[in-house]
Structure 1
Amino acid sequence: MTQQPQSTTAHSWAAGGTVLGGVLLSILGVLQVFQGIAAVAEDDVYARVGNYVYKFDLTAWGWIHLALGVIAFIVGIGLLKGANWARVGGVVMAALVVIANFMWLPYTPWWAITVIGVGIFVIWGLCKDWGHKYT
């Protein structure tokens, strides 16, 4: 029985984190698009919020989620294809999705918390072994 060198095992874990990040970011992108379409199409889908610091018109929130979703999906596909720009883009897009869903908390609290958790997991997966050199 042969053992794999440590660098090969570490590289496979890092690659697995990148692939998982790409898949999750793509799925988050699609879900953000659906969330945005629901907010744009029907303003009465989501509950009305009273006084809230980050209160926008629901149509504006819908367009924000729609744009974030499309870009996140494209970056997620870039991650799966191994594009160099996609790792930085993935971290940035996941952070923007987390921030947008934090501000979206009063409208759908449980869903927003779930998306925030997945977004943080994507950031962790993409940053896990970012600067590690494999030989």
Structure 2
Amino acid sequence: MTATHSAPSASHHPQTAGRPWAHGLTAFAAVMLMIAGVLDIFRGIMGIAEDDVFVTTRDYVFAYDLTGWGWIHLILGAVAVVVSLGLFQASLWARVAGIAIAGFIIIANFLSLPYYPVWSIVMIAFSAFIIWALCVVRQDDSGEFKAS
């Protein structure tokens, strides 16, 4: 009769019990930020090309040149993609930068509401989920991330 040994589960080690959730939320934020960045790059290209997808309104407080606005979205998208690559490594700088860039994406999409209203609202919600996922994960004394 042979005995089988199973690997210890996370419940046997209380210090690692929250880690799978933390890594899952960081991976979620990294994927979401990468998707948001790529979509923002495409939106920037559309703005630079002055595509007819955008609506023009004349009674909006924040009136911008569509080409300039396209460059802003293109740069934000490119930075978001780079930061998302750092999030896959679970580095602290990437978490802080991810929160900041998601905040900038929210501001940029709020200011561009009259040009592409439905998509702006979708991107604001998308970025809010990214900020939430990056804020609920904290680093413990051993350097491991865990969900709060």
| TM-score (structure 2 length as normaliser) | 0.83
**Deviation by residue 1:2-50 (Cα, 9 ceiling, x = unmatched):** 6614442312111111111011001100000000000101253311111
Which residue matches 1:97?
105
Q: Which has the higher strand share?
A: 2
The correspondence of residues 50-129 of structure 1 with structure 2, limited to 5 A, is 50-129=58-137
Which residue matches 2:44?
36
- Runs of at least 4 residues off by over 6 Å: none
The correspondence of residues 20-35 of structure 1 with structure 2, limited to 5 A, is 20-35=28-43
Read off the aligned partner of 2:125 and give its amino acid letter.
G
Read off the aligned partner of 1:129 and give its amino acid letter.
V
Distance 1:7 1:121 in 2: 26
* Secondary structure of the structure 1 residue equivalent to 2:60: coil
Unaligned 5+ residue runs, structure 1? Answer: none
Give me the identity figure in percent.
Answer: 43
Please tell me whether the aligned partners of residues 83 and 94 of structure 2 are also in contact (alpha carbons under 8 angstroms).
Answer: yes
**Deviation by residue 1:34-85 (Cα, 9 ceiling, x = unmatched):** 0000010125331111121221000011000000000001001110123331
Read off the aligned partner of 1:39 and give its amino acid letter.
G
Read off the aligned partner of 1:88 and give its amino acid letter.
V
* Secondary structure of the structure 1 residue equivalent to 2:88: helix
The two structures, once aligned, show a CA RMSD in angstroms of 1.9
Unaligned 5+ residue runs, structure 2? Answer: 1-5
Read off the aligned partner of 1:36 and give its amino acid letter.
G
Task: Give the aligned length.
Answer: 135
| TM-score (structure 1 length as normaliser) | 0.90
Distance 2:126 2:51 in 1: 26
Which residue matches 2:53?
45
